[in-house]
C-alpha cells in the first residue's frame, strides 16, 4: 500500500492581492487622466470666455478711461487751482458741492441698452506729479534723494553719475559713472540706454543701484531677474537698511514740478533745504484740524502768494524750496481700470495728461 502526501491547494490570497494592486493602479491612472482632462477643459473654457467677452472688456476698459478723464476735467474747474488728497481722483470724498460727490469709482457699473449691468469697473487714479521726474532730476535732486534713502556718500556719487550717463546721449562717462563699455562686461552683457527712462525699473540696470536701494529694504515683490550682486560692495558686508527706495521718490512721467499737496514726507525731504521737521509741519498743516489726509477739512491754498508763511514751524529755506520746485496742480496721472465682465477680469492701465478742463489726453493705454 502506497501512501500519498496530501495535496495542497494553491493559496488564493496571492492572486487577489495582485488583482487589488492592479485595480488601484488603474484607478490612480484614470484619476490622473480625469484631472488632466478637467484642467484642460477649464483652460479651454477660460480662453473661450475671454474670446467671447474680449470686445466687451475692451469697451468697458476704454469707458473706464473716459470716466477717469471726465473726473479729472471736472476737478480742474472745481479744485480752485489746488489738487489735494481730498479730491475724488486722489481717493478722497470730493467737495460736497461737487457733481462728483458720492460717485463710487471703486464700484462703477456700466449698463447696457436694456438697463442691465454689463460690466463693473474699479477706477484707481494715481497722481504722477506727487514724485520727482527721474528724466529731469539734476545732480542736486539725485543727491538729495539718495541722502533721504540713506545711501553712503561714496556709493551715492557713483549712482548719481551713472544715472546721468544712462540718460544722456553721449558715450563718454562722467567721473564715477558708467557707459556701455562697463555694462558690456556684466553677465549678461547689455548696453546703456543713452536716452530718457521710459520705465523706472530701468534704474535696476544702472551701476550701483541694488534692489534694496530701488525698492527700499522693507518692500516686497522684487524682480528676481534684477537681483544681481552689487559690484561696488564687498559681499562680506551686509547691505544697510533703507526706509524708502528710488521707486518711492521718482517717476518717469510727470508735468515737471512736484505737487506738494499729494507728495509724502519722503518726497518733500528731497526738496533742497527741506528737513524732516519742515515736511512734517507742512503735512500737518495741509491735513487740517483732524490731522488726517484726504478728508473734507484738508487745507487748500495755492503755493505762491505767501501762503506757505502760514505754516507753523516751517523755516524760510523750506518755503523757498517748495515754491521753487513745487506746485499745487498736477498734470500727469496713471489710471488703473479693473474690469469685471460676468466674472471675467482684466486690468487696463492708461497714462493721462491734463492740459485743461476739456483737454485730457490719453498718452498710453494697455492691458494685462
Mind listing the pLDDT tens digit for each residue in 74-111? 999 888 889 999 999 999 998 888 899 889 999 999 88
Query: What sign does the CA torsion over 54, 60, 63, 69 have?
Result: negative
pLDDT of residue 224: 44
pLDDT of residue 333: 97
pLDDT of residue 226: 47
pLDDT of residue 270: 97
* Distance between CA atoms of residues 85 and 296, nearest Å: 10
Kindly report the average pLDDT of the chain as a whole number. Answer: 87
pLDDT of residue 165: 94
> For 191-227, how does the pLDDT look when each residue is reduced to its tens digit (9 = 90+)?
999 999 999 999 999 999 999 999 998 765 455 444 4
> How many Cβ atoms sit within 10 Å of the Cβ of residue 356?
9
**pLDDT band with cut points at 50, 70 and 90 for residue 368:** confident
Kindly state which CATH superfamily the domain 56-130+330-367 is placed in: GSPII I/J protein-like (3.30.1300.30)
Residue 317 pLDDT exceeds 50: yes
Q: Smallest Cα–Cα separation from 71: which of 115, 102, 117, 110? A: 102
Q: Which residue has the higher pLDDT, 9 or 329?
A: 329
pLDDT of residue 12: 53
Q: Smallest Cα–Cα separation from 271: which of 305, 320, 224? A: 320
**pLDDT band with cut points at 50, 70 and 90 for residue 175:** confident
pLDDT of residue 356: 87
Least confident of 124-133, 219-228, 239-248, 251-260: 219-228
Q: What is the CATH number of domain 132-253?
A: 1.10.40.60
* Distance between CA atoms of residues 203 and 166, nearest Å: 9
pLDDT of residue 254: 94
Whole-model pTM: value is 0.80
> For 257-298, how does the pLDDT look when each residue is reduced to its tens digit (9 = 90+)?
999 999 999 999 999 999 999 999 999 999 999 989 999 999
Residue 8 pLDDT exceeds 80: no
The 8 Å CB, 24+ separation contacts for 96-104 are 96/296, 98/74, 99/74, 100/71, 100/74, 100/75, 103/71
- As to burial, measured by CB atoms within 10 angstroms (0-12 exposed, 13-18 middle, 19+ buried), residue 180 is middle
Q: Which residue has the higher pLDDT, 356 or 68?
A: 68
* Distance between CA atoms of residues 294 and 285, nearest Å: 13
Which of 16-25, 206-215, 221-230, 318-327 is most confident? 206-215
Indicate the domain borders of the chain: 56-130+330-367, 132-253, 256-327
Amino acid at each position: 500500500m502506497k501512501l500519498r502526501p496530501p495535496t495542497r491547494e494553491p493559496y488564493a490570497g496571492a492572486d487577489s492581492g495582485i488583482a487589488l494592486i492592479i485595480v488601484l493602479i488603474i484607478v490612480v491612472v484614470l484619476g490622473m487622466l480625469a484631472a488632466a482632462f478637467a484642467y484642460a477643459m477649464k483652460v479651454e473654457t477660460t480662453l473661450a470666455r475671454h474670446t467671447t467677452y474680449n470686445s466687451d472688456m475692451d469697451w468697458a476698459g476704454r469707458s473706464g478711461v473716459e470716466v477717469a478723464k471726465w473726473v479729472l476735467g471736472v476737478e480742474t474747474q472745481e479744485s480752485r487751482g489746488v489738487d489735494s488728497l481730498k479730491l475724488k481722483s486722489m481717493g478722497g470724498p470730493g467737495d460736497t458741492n461737487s457733481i462728483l460727490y458720492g460717485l463710487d469709482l471703486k464700484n462703477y457699473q456700466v449698463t447696457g441698452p436694456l438697463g442691465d449691468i454689463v460690466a463693473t469697473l474699479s477706477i484707481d487714479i494715481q497722481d504722477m506729479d506727487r514724485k520727482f521726474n527721474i528724466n529731469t532730476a539734476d545732480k542736486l535732486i539725485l543727491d538729495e534723494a539718495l541722502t533721504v534713502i540713506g545711501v553712503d556718500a561714496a556709493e551715492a556719487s557713483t549712482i548719481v553719475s551713472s544715472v546721468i550717463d544712462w540718460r544722456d546721449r553721449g558715450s563718454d562717462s562722467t567721473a564715477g559713472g558708467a557707459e556701455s563699455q562697463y555694462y558690456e562686461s556684466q553677465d549678461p552683457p547689455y548696453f546703456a540706454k543713452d536716452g530718457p527712462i521710459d520705465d523706472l525699473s530701468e534704474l535696476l540696470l544702472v551701476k550701483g543701484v541694488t534692489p534694496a536701494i530701488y525698492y527700499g529694504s522693507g518692500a516686497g515683490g522684487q524682480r528676481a531677474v534684477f537681483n544681481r550682486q552689487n559690484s561696488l560692495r564687498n559681499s562680506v558686508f551686509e547691505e544697510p537698511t533703507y526706509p524708502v527706495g528710488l521707486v518711492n521718490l521718482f517717476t518717469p512721467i510727470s508735468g515737471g514740478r512736484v505737487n506738494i499737496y499729494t507728495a509724502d514726507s519722503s518726497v518733500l525731504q528731497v526738496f533742497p533745504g527741506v528737513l524732516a521737521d519742515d515736511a512734517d509741519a507742512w503735512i500737518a498743516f495741509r491735513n487740517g484740524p483732524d490731522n488726517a489726509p484726504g478728508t473734507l477739512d484738508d487745507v487748500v491754498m495755492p503755493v505762491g502768494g505767501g501762503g506757505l508763511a502760514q505754516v507753523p514751524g516751517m523755516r524760510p529755506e523750506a518755503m523757498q524750496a517748495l515754491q521753487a520746485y513745487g506746485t499745487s496742480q498736477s498734470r500727469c496721472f496713471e489710471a488703473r481700470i479693473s474690469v469685471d465682465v460676468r466674472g471675467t477680469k482684466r486690468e487696463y492701465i492708461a497714462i493721462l495728461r491734463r492740459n485743461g478742463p476739456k483737454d485730457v489726453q490719453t498718452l498710453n493705454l494697455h492691458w494685462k
